[in-house]
Structure 1
Amino acid sequence: MTAEIERWNHNIHYHPMILRAVPDGCRRALDVGCGEGILARELRRTVRHVSAIDLDEPSIELARRHDAASDIEYLLGDFLTHPFEPASFDVITSVATLHHMDAAVALDRMRRLLRPGGTLVVVGVARSRLPADLPYEAAAVFGNLLYKTTKTYWEHSAPKVWSPPETYAGMRHIAEGVLPGVRYRRHLLWRYSLMWTKPA
């Protein structure tokens, strides 16, 4: 398969933010809902051991066939039930995946898999409440149009779930209940982020 080509969409747009949050000295990373493995390959540039898991077999097969796949552990399976060792990862990432699962259960599982001092970074999709969220929607439409004047949108092959079951406010409430002290932020392109460091 050919080497990585430049791709852009609303999920990939936030990869640099995720990569900046990876703690120094990170040795083990887990990417949940890895799709075709773009973020996993980016993580591998600075993290010694990267595991990446997804339920979608065609996506995992595409990831495994990539030129840079040889030293990444791609797993076909359910993140919620796969026998990972507790407290075994320094960083856990997840992009546009939580809305495919029970968010509270998934966040609790991520919390338990992190080592003390480890970092969790989630970029998620949620549902707007109108008219309360109308200003966010308007800004997202405008921002999206601006980005598309300079970038070509890439459509991923992974299955989609729409519409998301939780609102942005609902996701913030869930995250704060499971991850005390979590940093929640709403972003321009129909995304939110969660950043949390597990107490040492």
Structure 2
Amino acid sequence: MQRISTPKIGSAICIAVLLLLSSSAFGQKVERESRIKSPEVPEKALEYIEQTSLDKVKWYRETGLESISFEAKFKHERRWYSVEFSEEGVLEDIEIEIDLHQVPEPTRESIDKYLEAEFKRHRIKKVQIQYKQTSLQALIKEEVSKTDSPHAFELVVKGKKSRLMKLWEVAFSSTGKYISIDQILNRNSTHLEY
């Protein structure tokens, strides 16, 4: 049996810590999404969704590195919705999947310009419009315009920066201003996959 000397163990620990610190600097999103039944959902979140009288709502628990959230996913008038709640059942955001051509042209041009500069090659896999301070009932009843409300756009992009194609989640403001980019790691499904 071979013994490992203390300096080698110390070096290995230092390297592991440096790798962890450097990987967090690049903005990586690690999450695991699993289907759950409604009794496992925070009561406050369940009540919020029940107020809308929607059919066929599927619930998911999303576990990230630092947080747990709950998502209600459903289809309404040919649009996929994802409503995310905190662990306590507080509404965090509402996302609606849209087609890229539905993004206003000046905003789309800003997004395209950013993606062209950021990636050697890329393909947009999904576009979602994200609402932080708008009620689900107002969106469903179309009491607010889906493009006039304060919102952001979240894209899932398959992009190549160096040698490999990777999945990225890129967020933009309603005017196309870059907000954030995160590499998607160990993700077993995309936000609105059913």
If asked which structure has higher relative contact order (CA below 8 Å, sep 6+), I would say 1
Q: TM-score interval w.r.t. the shorter chain?
A: under 0.3
Task: Report the TM-score, using the length of structure 1 for normalisation.
Answer: 0.27
